Amino acid sequence: MVKTPLALAGLLALSAVLGGSIVLGAQALIPARTGDADKARIGQVVRDYVLANPEILPEAMKRLQERETGKAVASSRSAITQPYAGAWEGNPKGDVTVAVYMDYACGYCRASLPMIARLVAEDSNVRIVYRELPVLSEVSRVAARWGLAAAEQDKFKPFHTALYSAGQLSEASIRAASAAAGLDNAKAQAALTTPRVEAEIARNLDTAGKLGVTGTPSWVIGERVISGMVPYEVLQDAVKAARKPG
């Protein structure tokens, strides 16, 4: 039992650093029988402590955000980590899944491809799951449909690589990538407007919204959501963290 305001203030501050809210922490830690006068004194001590140590607040907010993000990831786990048909690479039984949300019109996505290739080459226990997130243009959505059609023919990676290698996204570059990947054009055309393809794109957009993802590339690794093109070491560290027990 906390018996002094100073000790309580220390616990509340620790609660904040560990990801809790100071206000909620106070409500949880103040004994029910505490009188109004004592509550007021405790509140003043906590306030003074926070004002004297404001550096705990950014860390507390960061921890709180991470905790909420972890909850969002957990609630959408299958929508994040279960690939659409063949839209994946790496170890199918890998102990860490790296889900990457991409848009074919995104230059930063294209620039991230060597890092993904390096991660797969250097870590034999990682699985990459590609998620179509067409947010930049109408042509992006057309390309996403073709990517999913390619995944249904187990030719996602050749199509994916060919389309990013083509440079600026266009209807012509999509057709060229389809040909380069060796897609059955009739089957692909038939798949483009099917409910399953539309449902996958809608699910990705919905999940991205829940995760706070607003752009591409975005990465989900373990409980973490990482936005933008980041150094290779950031992805590597996130994989290591996801691998740690507990």
- Does the N-terminal peptide bond of residue 217 adopt cis geometry, omega within 30 degrees of 0? yes
Q: What is the pLDDT of residue 203?
A: 98
pLDDT digits (tens, 9 = 90+) for 133-180: 999 999 999 999 999 999 999 999 999 999 999 989 999 999 999 999
Averaged pLDDT, 67-81: 84
Q: Give CA–CA dist 98/160, Å, rounded.
A: 17
Q: What is the pLDDT of residue 77?
A: 95
Which two tokens mark 7? 């000790």
Question: Helix (H, G, I), strand (E, B), or coil: what is residue 85?
Answer: coil
Tell me what percent of the residues of the chain surpass a pLDDT of 70.
80
Domains of the chain: 5-61 (no CATH), 77-243 (3.40.30.10)
pLDDT band at 32 (very low <50, low <70, confident <90, very high): low
Averaged pLDDT, 94-109: 98
Q: Give CA–CA dist 104/192, Å, rounded.
A: 16
Spatial neighbors of 123 by CB under 8 A, at least 6 apart, are: 96, 236, 239
Averaged pLDDT, 25-29: 49
CB 147 within 8 A of CB 104: yes
Averaged pLDDT, 107-120: 98
Is the confidence at residue 71, as pLDDT, over 90?
no
Which two tokens mark 36? 């109004």
Backbone angles phi, psi at 130, to 5 degrees: -95, 130
Question: Helix (H, G, I), strand (E, B), or coil: what is residue 219?
Answer: strand
Q: What is the pLDDT of residue 41?
A: 81
CB 38 within 8 A of CB 83: no
Q: Give CA–CA dist 62/58, Å, rounded.
A: 6
Q: Which of 120, 148, 116, 124 is CA-nearest to residue 226? A: 116
